[in-house]
Structure 1
Protein backbone atom coordinates (compact mmCIF):
# COMPACT_ATOMS: atom_id res chain seq x y z
CA UNK A 1 0.00 0.00 0.00
CA UNK A 2 1.31 3.43 -0.93
CA UNK A 3 2.11 6.09 1.62
CA UNK A 4 1.28 9.80 1.44
CA UNK A 5 2.17 12.38 4.07
CA UNK A 6 -0.65 14.64 5.20
CA UNK A 7 0.29 17.87 6.98
CA UNK A 8 -2.18 19.45 9.38
CA UNK A 9 -2.09 22.63 11.46
CA UNK A 10 -1.07 21.76 15.01
CA UNK A 11 -4.43 22.62 16.54
CA UNK A 12 -6.29 20.55 13.94
CA UNK A 13 -3.98 17.58 14.47
CA UNK A 14 -4.58 17.68 18.21
CA UNK A 15 -8.35 17.93 17.72
CA UNK A 16 -8.40 15.01 15.25
CA UNK A 17 -6.35 12.79 17.53
CA UNK A 18 -8.43 13.76 20.55
CA UNK A 19 -11.59 12.81 18.65
CA UNK A 20 -10.09 9.45 17.72
CA UNK A 21 -10.71 9.96 14.01
CA UNK A 22 -8.99 7.76 11.44
CA UNK A 23 -6.94 10.16 9.32
CA UNK A 24 -6.13 7.48 6.76
CA UNK A 25 -9.74 6.41 6.19
CA UNK A 26 -11.02 9.99 6.00
CA UNK A 27 -8.29 11.03 3.56
CA UNK A 28 -8.87 7.99 1.36
CA UNK A 29 -12.59 8.72 1.17
CA UNK A 30 -11.98 12.40 0.41
CA UNK A 31 -9.44 11.63 -2.30
CA UNK A 32 -11.75 9.08 -3.88
CA UNK A 33 -14.54 11.67 -4.00
CA UNK A 34 -12.22 14.14 -5.73
CA UNK A 35 -11.07 11.53 -8.26
CA UNK A 36 -14.69 10.62 -9.01
CA UNK A 37 -15.57 14.29 -9.44
CA UNK A 38 -12.66 14.82 -11.84
CA UNK A 39 -13.65 11.76 -13.86
CA UNK A 40 -17.23 13.00 -14.12
CA UNK A 41 -16.00 16.39 -15.25
CA UNK A 42 -13.75 14.88 -17.92
CA UNK A 43 -16.34 12.40 -19.19
CA UNK A 44 -19.61 14.32 -18.78
CA UNK A 45 -18.59 17.96 -18.33
CA UNK A 46 -20.39 17.98 -14.99
CA UNK A 47 -19.05 19.61 -11.82
CA UNK A 48 -20.30 21.51 -8.76
CA UNK A 49 -20.57 24.75 -10.75
CA UNK A 50 -21.83 27.95 -9.21
CA UNK A 51 -25.26 28.92 -10.61
CA UNK A 52 -23.64 31.79 -12.51
CA UNK A 53 -21.00 29.65 -14.21
CA UNK A 54 -23.60 27.00 -15.02
CA UNK A 55 -25.77 29.65 -16.70
CA UNK A 56 -22.77 30.94 -18.66
CA UNK A 57 -21.90 27.41 -19.80
CA UNK A 58 -25.49 26.75 -20.84
CA UNK A 59 -25.54 30.00 -22.80
CA UNK A 60 -22.25 29.18 -24.53
CA UNK A 61 -23.51 25.71 -25.45
CA UNK A 62 -26.71 27.16 -26.88
CA UNK A 63 -24.77 29.75 -28.91
CA UNK A 64 -22.39 27.17 -30.36
CA UNK A 65 -25.15 24.61 -30.97
CA UNK A 66 -26.79 27.05 -33.37
CA UNK A 67 -23.53 27.03 -35.35
CA UNK A 68 -23.02 23.28 -35.06
CA UNK A 69 -19.85 23.72 -33.00
CA UNK A 70 -18.56 22.54 -29.65
CA UNK A 71 -17.65 25.03 -26.92
CA UNK A 72 -13.91 25.72 -26.94
CA UNK A 73 -11.75 27.30 -24.25
CA UNK A 74 -11.84 30.54 -26.23
CA UNK A 75 -15.66 30.39 -26.37
CA UNK A 76 -15.73 29.86 -22.61
CA UNK A 77 -13.47 32.86 -21.99
CA UNK A 78 -15.58 34.99 -24.31
CA UNK A 79 -18.82 33.94 -22.61
CA UNK A 80 -17.44 34.93 -19.19
CA UNK A 81 -16.24 38.27 -20.56
CA UNK A 82 -19.53 39.04 -22.36
CA UNK A 83 -21.61 38.13 -19.33
CA UNK A 84 -19.61 40.69 -17.38
CA UNK A 85 -21.48 40.41 -14.09
CA UNK A 86 -19.35 37.69 -12.52
CA UNK A 87 -16.23 37.50 -10.37
CA UNK A 88 -14.07 36.23 -13.21
CA UNK A 89 -14.93 39.22 -15.41
CA UNK A 90 -14.50 41.62 -12.48
CA UNK A 91 -11.05 40.17 -11.89
CA UNK A 92 -10.01 40.72 -15.51
CA UNK A 93 -11.34 44.28 -15.44
CA UNK A 94 -9.43 45.01 -12.22
CA UNK A 95 -6.26 43.81 -13.95
CA UNK A 96 -6.72 46.37 -16.70
CA UNK A 97 -8.34 44.21 -19.38
CA UNK A 98 -11.06 46.12 -21.19
CA UNK A 99 -14.15 43.95 -21.62
CA UNK A 100 -17.26 44.53 -23.76
CA UNK A 101 -20.46 45.87 -22.28
CA UNK A 102 -22.05 43.18 -20.07
CA UNK A 103 -24.64 40.98 -21.74
CA UNK A 104 -25.80 38.79 -18.83
CA UNK A 105 -29.09 37.93 -20.50
CA UNK A 106 -27.30 36.00 -23.28
CA UNK A 107 -25.78 33.64 -20.73
CA UNK A 108 -29.20 32.56 -19.49
CA UNK A 109 -30.29 30.97 -22.76
CA UNK A 110 -31.11 27.28 -22.46
CA UNK A 111 -28.98 24.79 -24.34
CA UNK A 112 -30.64 22.38 -26.75
CA UNK A 113 -28.27 19.62 -25.69
CA UNK A 114 -26.52 19.24 -29.06
CA UNK A 115 -23.39 21.24 -28.24
CA UNK A 116 -20.64 19.74 -26.12
CA UNK A 117 -17.48 20.95 -24.46
CA UNK A 118 -14.44 20.69 -26.72
CA UNK A 119 -11.38 18.91 -25.25
CA UNK A 120 -9.53 22.17 -24.54
CA UNK A 121 -12.55 23.55 -22.67
CA UNK A 122 -12.73 20.36 -20.59
CA UNK A 123 -9.01 20.71 -19.82
CA UNK A 124 -9.51 24.30 -18.65
CA UNK A 125 -12.50 23.37 -16.48
CA UNK A 126 -10.54 20.46 -15.01
CA UNK A 127 -7.67 22.80 -14.16
CA UNK A 128 -10.18 25.27 -12.71
CA UNK A 129 -11.67 22.53 -10.53
CA UNK A 130 -8.21 21.83 -9.11
CA UNK A 131 -7.72 25.55 -8.48
CA UNK A 132 -11.01 25.67 -6.58
CA UNK A 133 -9.97 22.64 -4.52
CA UNK A 134 -6.60 24.21 -3.68
CA UNK A 135 -8.38 27.40 -2.61
CA UNK A 136 -10.71 25.24 -0.47
CA UNK A 137 -13.80 26.39 -2.32
CA UNK A 138 -16.78 24.08 -2.53
CA UNK A 139 -17.99 25.22 -5.94
CA UNK A 140 -16.37 25.88 -9.30
CA UNK A 141 -16.90 29.47 -10.43
CA UNK A 142 -15.83 31.92 -13.10
CA UNK A 143 -12.98 33.15 -10.90
CA UNK A 144 -11.37 29.71 -10.94
CA UNK A 145 -11.81 29.48 -14.70
CA UNK A 146 -9.98 32.76 -15.39
CA UNK A 147 -7.12 31.63 -13.14
CA UNK A 148 -6.89 28.40 -15.15
CA UNK A 149 -7.08 30.31 -18.44
CA UNK A 150 -3.97 32.28 -17.47
CA UNK A 151 -1.94 29.19 -16.53
CA UNK A 152 1.08 28.13 -18.58
CA UNK A 153 -0.62 25.03 -20.00
CA UNK A 154 -3.78 26.92 -21.00
CA UNK A 155 -4.57 27.42 -24.71
CA UNK A 156 -5.00 31.13 -23.91
CA UNK A 157 -1.73 31.49 -22.00
CA UNK A 158 -0.08 33.51 -24.79
CA UNK A 159 -2.87 36.10 -24.66
CA UNK A 160 -2.42 36.63 -20.92
CA UNK A 161 1.36 36.54 -21.29
CA UNK A 162 1.28 39.38 -23.82
CA UNK A 163 -0.63 41.43 -21.26
CA UNK A 164 1.91 40.60 -18.56
CA UNK A 165 -0.67 38.66 -16.54
CA UNK A 166 0.10 35.31 -14.92
CA UNK A 167 -2.22 32.85 -13.21
CA UNK A 168 -0.63 33.81 -9.90
CA UNK A 169 -1.47 37.47 -10.52
CA UNK A 170 -5.05 36.55 -11.41
CA UNK A 171 -5.40 34.48 -8.24
CA UNK A 172 -4.06 37.33 -6.12
CA UNK A 173 -6.69 39.63 -7.59
CA UNK A 174 -9.43 37.05 -7.03
CA UNK A 175 -8.41 36.77 -3.39
CA UNK A 176 -8.47 40.56 -3.03
CA UNK A 177 -12.01 40.71 -4.39
CA UNK A 178 -13.14 37.82 -2.19
CA UNK A 179 -11.71 39.55 0.88
CA UNK A 180 -13.28 42.87 -0.07
CA UNK A 181 -15.77 42.84 -2.98
CA UNK A 182 -15.77 46.65 -3.10
CA UNK A 183 -12.01 47.10 -3.26
CA UNK A 184 -10.45 49.15 -6.04
CA UNK A 185 -6.96 47.85 -5.28
CA UNK A 186 -5.46 45.51 -7.81
CA UNK A 187 -2.33 43.52 -8.42
CA UNK A 188 -0.17 45.41 -10.89
CA UNK A 189 0.77 43.65 -14.14
CA UNK A 190 4.28 43.89 -15.56
CA UNK A 191 5.58 47.35 -16.41
CA UNK A 192 4.67 48.85 -19.77
CA UNK A 193 8.07 48.13 -21.35
CA UNK A 194 7.77 44.40 -20.66
CA UNK A 195 4.20 44.35 -21.92
CA UNK A 196 5.16 46.17 -25.13
CA UNK A 197 8.04 43.76 -25.70
CA UNK A 198 5.70 40.81 -25.35
CA UNK A 199 3.14 42.44 -27.62
CA UNK A 200 5.81 43.12 -30.26
CA UNK A 201 6.94 39.49 -30.13
CA UNK A 202 3.38 38.25 -30.50
CA UNK A 203 2.71 40.58 -33.45
CA UNK A 204 5.88 39.34 -35.16
CA UNK A 205 4.86 35.73 -34.56
CA UNK A 206 1.40 36.30 -36.04
CA UNK A 207 2.89 38.17 -39.02
CA UNK A 208 5.26 35.26 -39.69
CA UNK A 209 2.37 32.78 -39.57
CA UNK A 210 0.35 34.89 -42.02
CA UNK A 211 3.35 35.08 -44.36
CA UNK A 212 3.74 31.30 -44.23
CA UNK A 213 0.06 30.79 -44.99
CA UNK A 214 0.25 33.12 -47.98
CA UNK A 215 3.34 31.32 -49.25
CA UNK A 216 1.54 27.98 -48.92
CA UNK A 217 -1.53 29.26 -50.78
CA UNK A 218 0.68 30.60 -53.56
Structure 2
Protein backbone atom coordinates (compact mmCIF):
# COMPACT_ATOMS: atom_id res chain seq x y z
CA UNK A 1 0.00 0.00 0.00
CA UNK A 2 1.18 3.52 -0.76
CA UNK A 3 0.18 6.71 1.08
CA UNK A 4 -2.78 6.93 3.47
CA UNK A 5 -5.05 9.35 5.27
CA UNK A 6 -3.10 10.79 8.20
CA UNK A 7 -3.24 13.87 10.41
CA UNK A 8 -3.21 16.95 8.14
CA UNK A 9 -0.04 18.99 8.16
CA UNK A 10 0.97 22.22 6.48
CA UNK A 11 2.44 22.16 2.98
CA UNK A 12 3.57 24.94 0.66
CA UNK A 13 2.10 28.33 1.55
CA UNK A 14 0.55 26.99 4.75
CA UNK A 15 -2.00 24.87 2.83
CA UNK A 16 -3.05 21.76 4.81
CA UNK A 17 -1.56 18.57 3.40
CA UNK A 18 -2.70 14.94 3.80
CA UNK A 19 -1.47 11.64 2.43
CA UNK A 20 -3.77 9.16 0.70
CA UNK A 21 -3.35 5.38 0.83
CA UNK A 22 -3.49 3.61 -2.54
CA UNK A 23 -3.19 -0.08 -3.42
CA UNK A 24 0.16 -0.87 -5.04
CA UNK A 25 -1.30 -1.58 -8.49
CA UNK A 26 -3.38 1.61 -8.50
CA UNK A 27 -0.39 3.67 -7.34
CA UNK A 28 1.66 2.26 -10.22
CA UNK A 29 -1.13 3.05 -12.66
CA UNK A 30 -1.40 6.62 -11.38
CA UNK A 31 2.36 7.13 -11.78
CA UNK A 32 2.38 5.56 -15.24
CA UNK A 33 -0.48 7.77 -16.39
CA UNK A 34 1.06 10.91 -14.89
CA UNK A 35 -2.23 11.89 -13.28
CA UNK A 36 -2.48 15.15 -11.27
CA UNK A 37 -3.26 13.44 -7.97
CA UNK A 38 -3.68 16.59 -5.87
CA UNK A 39 -6.16 18.17 -8.28
CA UNK A 40 -8.15 14.95 -8.67
CA UNK A 41 -8.30 14.35 -4.91
CA UNK A 42 -9.31 17.94 -4.27
CA UNK A 43 -12.17 17.79 -6.77
CA UNK A 44 -13.37 14.44 -5.40
CA UNK A 45 -13.24 15.67 -1.82
CA UNK A 46 -15.06 18.89 -2.73
CA UNK A 47 -17.86 16.83 -4.33
CA UNK A 48 -18.02 14.53 -1.32
CA UNK A 49 -18.19 17.43 1.14
CA UNK A 50 -21.03 19.06 -0.83
CA UNK A 51 -23.06 15.86 -0.94
CA UNK A 52 -22.57 14.95 2.70
CA UNK A 53 -23.32 18.53 3.79
CA UNK A 54 -26.57 18.42 1.78
CA UNK A 55 -27.60 15.26 3.65
CA UNK A 56 -26.82 16.78 7.03
CA UNK A 57 -28.86 19.89 6.18
CA UNK A 58 -31.85 17.84 5.04
CA UNK A 59 -35.04 18.65 6.93
CA UNK A 60 -37.98 16.29 7.26
CA UNK A 61 -40.81 18.68 8.05
CA UNK A 62 -44.30 17.66 7.08
CA UNK A 63 -44.50 20.36 4.39
CA UNK A 64 -41.08 20.16 2.74
CA UNK A 65 -39.50 17.76 0.28
CA UNK A 66 -36.72 15.99 2.19
CA UNK A 67 -34.81 15.43 -1.05
CA UNK A 68 -34.82 19.05 -2.22
CA UNK A 69 -31.08 19.45 -1.58
CA UNK A 70 -30.03 15.99 -2.77
CA UNK A 71 -29.40 16.95 -6.38
CA UNK A 72 -27.00 14.09 -7.13
CA UNK A 73 -29.56 11.47 -6.11
CA UNK A 74 -31.51 9.82 -8.92
CA UNK A 75 -35.28 10.24 -9.22
CA UNK A 76 -35.84 6.70 -7.97
CA UNK A 77 -33.56 7.22 -4.97
CA UNK A 78 -35.34 10.45 -4.13
CA UNK A 79 -38.69 8.68 -4.40
CA UNK A 80 -37.40 6.01 -2.01
CA UNK A 81 -36.29 8.67 0.51
CA UNK A 82 -39.62 10.53 0.24
CA UNK A 83 -41.44 7.25 0.87
CA UNK A 84 -39.22 6.60 3.88
CA UNK A 85 -39.92 10.10 5.21
CA UNK A 86 -43.68 9.62 4.83
CA UNK A 87 -43.45 6.30 6.64
CA UNK A 88 -41.55 7.82 9.56
CA UNK A 89 -43.90 10.81 9.78
CA UNK A 90 -46.84 8.44 10.01
CA UNK A 91 -45.30 6.91 13.11
CA UNK A 92 -44.45 10.32 14.54
CA UNK A 93 -40.85 9.25 14.99
CA UNK A 94 -37.45 9.40 13.38
CA UNK A 95 -36.58 8.13 9.92
CA UNK A 96 -34.46 5.03 10.44
CA UNK A 97 -32.57 2.65 8.19
CA UNK A 98 -35.58 0.31 8.11
CA UNK A 99 -37.60 3.16 6.58
CA UNK A 100 -34.91 3.70 3.93
CA UNK A 101 -34.91 0.01 3.03
CA UNK A 102 -38.71 0.08 2.91
CA UNK A 103 -38.52 3.04 0.52
CA UNK A 104 -36.17 1.17 -1.83
CA UNK A 105 -38.40 -1.94 -1.75
CA UNK A 106 -41.60 0.08 -2.16
CA UNK A 107 -40.26 1.95 -5.20
CA UNK A 108 -39.69 -1.48 -6.67
CA UNK A 109 -38.35 -0.78 -10.16
CA UNK A 110 -34.81 0.20 -9.21
CA UNK A 111 -31.35 -1.31 -9.41
CA UNK A 112 -31.20 -1.64 -5.64
CA UNK A 113 -33.95 -4.25 -5.77
CA UNK A 114 -32.14 -5.99 -8.63
CA UNK A 115 -28.96 -6.07 -6.57
CA UNK A 116 -30.82 -7.59 -3.61
CA UNK A 117 -32.18 -10.32 -5.87
CA UNK A 118 -28.68 -10.93 -7.26
CA UNK A 119 -27.53 -11.50 -3.67
CA UNK A 120 -30.20 -14.17 -3.24
CA UNK A 121 -32.59 -12.04 -1.17
CA UNK A 122 -36.35 -11.96 -1.75
CA UNK A 123 -37.61 -8.34 -1.71
CA UNK A 124 -41.10 -9.42 -0.62
CA UNK A 125 -39.68 -11.40 2.31
CA UNK A 126 -37.51 -8.43 3.30
CA UNK A 127 -40.52 -6.09 3.23
CA UNK A 128 -42.50 -8.49 5.40
CA UNK A 129 -39.64 -8.62 7.92
CA UNK A 130 -39.55 -4.84 8.37
CA UNK A 131 -41.47 -3.36 11.32
CA UNK A 132 -44.90 -2.07 10.38
CA UNK A 133 -45.70 1.65 10.45
CA UNK A 134 -49.03 3.55 10.51
CA UNK A 135 -50.14 4.92 7.13
CA UNK A 136 -51.51 8.38 8.01
CA UNK A 137 -49.02 11.26 8.49
CA UNK A 138 -49.10 12.76 11.98
CA UNK A 139 -46.21 15.23 12.02
CA UNK A 140 -42.59 15.96 11.30
CA UNK A 141 -39.70 13.52 11.52
CA UNK A 142 -35.93 13.57 11.54
CA UNK A 143 -33.12 11.22 10.49
CA UNK A 144 -31.72 8.86 13.07
CA UNK A 145 -27.94 8.88 13.39
CA UNK A 146 -27.74 5.50 11.65
CA UNK A 147 -29.96 6.59 8.75
CA UNK A 148 -27.91 9.75 8.26
CA UNK A 149 -24.74 7.66 8.32
CA UNK A 150 -26.21 5.22 5.80
CA UNK A 151 -27.00 8.06 3.39
CA UNK A 152 -23.50 9.47 3.78
CA UNK A 153 -22.04 6.00 3.17
CA UNK A 154 -24.22 5.69 0.06
CA UNK A 155 -22.54 8.86 -1.25
CA UNK A 156 -19.13 7.45 -0.34
CA UNK A 157 -19.87 4.16 -2.12
CA UNK A 158 -21.00 6.00 -5.25
CA UNK A 159 -17.83 8.10 -5.29
CA UNK A 160 -15.65 5.04 -4.69
CA UNK A 161 -17.23 3.35 -7.71
CA UNK A 162 -16.59 6.43 -9.84
CA UNK A 163 -20.28 7.33 -10.19
CA UNK A 164 -21.44 10.94 -10.36
CA UNK A 165 -24.94 10.01 -9.16
CA UNK A 166 -26.43 8.24 -6.13
CA UNK A 167 -29.08 5.63 -6.88
CA UNK A 168 -31.05 3.05 -4.94
CA UNK A 169 -28.23 0.59 -5.58
CA UNK A 170 -25.92 2.91 -3.64
CA UNK A 171 -28.52 3.22 -0.88
CA UNK A 172 -28.40 -0.57 -0.52
CA UNK A 173 -24.61 -0.40 -0.25
CA UNK A 174 -24.87 2.38 2.34
CA UNK A 175 -27.32 0.36 4.42
CA UNK A 176 -25.01 -2.64 4.29
CA UNK A 177 -21.93 -0.58 5.15
CA UNK A 178 -23.59 1.10 8.16
CA UNK A 179 -22.83 -1.27 11.09
CA UNK A 180 -25.54 -0.34 13.60
CA UNK A 181 -28.79 0.13 11.66
CA UNK A 182 -31.59 -2.43 11.74
CA UNK A 183 -31.80 -2.57 7.93
CA UNK A 184 -28.15 -3.51 7.54
CA UNK A 185 -28.51 -6.12 10.28
CA UNK A 186 -31.51 -7.62 8.47
CA UNK A 187 -29.65 -7.75 5.15
CA UNK A 188 -26.57 -9.30 6.73
CA UNK A 189 -28.66 -11.83 8.65
CA UNK A 190 -30.19 -12.89 5.33
CA UNK A 191 -26.71 -13.49 3.89
CA UNK A 192 -25.88 -10.19 2.17
CA UNK A 193 -22.27 -9.00 2.24
CA UNK A 194 -20.82 -5.66 1.19
CA UNK A 195 -18.15 -6.87 -1.23
CA UNK A 196 -20.46 -9.09 -3.34
CA UNK A 197 -23.04 -6.28 -3.19
CA UNK A 198 -20.54 -3.87 -4.75
CA UNK A 199 -19.79 -6.40 -7.47
CA UNK A 200 -23.53 -6.85 -8.06
CA UNK A 201 -23.95 -3.06 -8.44
CA UNK A 202 -21.18 -2.94 -11.05
CA UNK A 203 -22.66 -5.94 -12.88
CA UNK A 204 -26.18 -4.48 -12.81
CA UNK A 205 -25.00 -1.14 -14.22
CA UNK A 206 -22.93 -2.87 -16.90
CA UNK A 207 -25.99 -4.88 -17.91
CA UNK A 208 -28.08 -1.72 -18.04
CA UNK A 209 -25.59 0.18 -20.17
CA UNK A 210 -25.18 -2.71 -22.60
CA UNK A 211 -28.94 -2.87 -23.00
CA UNK A 212 -28.98 0.85 -23.91
CA UNK A 213 -25.45 1.63 -25.08
CA UNK A 214 -25.87 4.97 -26.82
CA UNK A 215 -27.02 7.37 -24.06
CA UNK A 216 -25.13 5.51 -21.34
CA UNK A 217 -21.89 4.75 -23.16
CA UNK A 218 -19.81 7.12 -20.97
CA UNK A 219 -21.04 5.32 -17.85
CA UNK A 220 -20.10 1.96 -19.35
CA UNK A 221 -16.64 3.24 -20.19
CA UNK A 222 -16.13 4.43 -16.61
CA UNK A 223 -17.30 1.10 -15.24
CA UNK A 224 -14.96 -0.81 -17.55
CA UNK A 225 -12.06 1.30 -16.28
CA UNK A 226 -13.21 0.73 -12.71
CA UNK A 227 -13.32 -3.04 -13.22
CA UNK A 228 -9.79 -3.05 -14.55
CA UNK A 229 -8.48 -0.96 -11.64
CA UNK A 230 -10.28 -3.05 -8.98
CA UNK A 231 -9.50 -6.42 -10.53
CA UNK A 232 -13.16 -7.23 -11.25
CA UNK A 233 -12.61 -7.51 -15.00
CA UNK A 234 -11.47 -10.92 -16.28
- What is the TM-score when the length of structure 1 is the normalising length? 0.65
- Say if 2:192 is the partner of 1:158: no
- Matches of 1:140 and 1:57, distance apart in 2: 12
* C-alpha distance in 2 between matches for 1:100 and 1:66: 22
Structure 2 residue 56 is the aligned partner of structure 1 residue 42: yes
Structure 1 consecutive aligned stretches of length 4 or more whose deviation exceeds 4 Å: 5-8
Offset of 1:132 from its aligned partner? Answer: 0.3
Larger Rg belongs to: 1
Using the TM superposition, give the Cα deviation of residue 145 of structure 1 relative to its aligned residue in structure 2, in angstroms. Answer: 1.1
Q: Which stretches in structure 2 are left out of the alignment for 5+ residues?
A: 1-9, 11-16, 60-68, 126-136, 211-234
Between 1:68-77 and 1:92-101, the stretch displaced more is 92-101
- Residue of structure 1 equivalent to 2:230: none
Q: Distance in 1 between matches of 2:115 and 2:178?
A: 18
1:56 equivalent among 65, 73, 80: 80
Q: Any stretches of 5+ residues in structure 1 without a counterpart?
A: 17-21, 102-110, 184-218
1:9 to 30, 35, 48: 30
Q: TM-score, normalised by structure 2?
A: 0.61
The one of 97, 101, 109 equivalent to 1:77 is 101
Aligned residues: 168
For 1:105-127, what per-residue CA distance to the aligned partner results, in whole angstroms no more than 9, with x for missing partners?
xxxxxx99933322211110001
The 1:88/1:4 distance shift into structure 2, 3 A limit, reads same
CA distance in 2, matches of 1:152, 1:116: 18
**Cα distance in 1, alignment partners of residues 185 and 95 from structure 2:** 20
SS at match of 1:170: helix
RMSD: 3.1
Q: In 2, Cα distance between the equivalents of 1:97 and 1:139?
A: 25
What is the distance in 2 between the residues matched to 1:144 and 1:41? 14
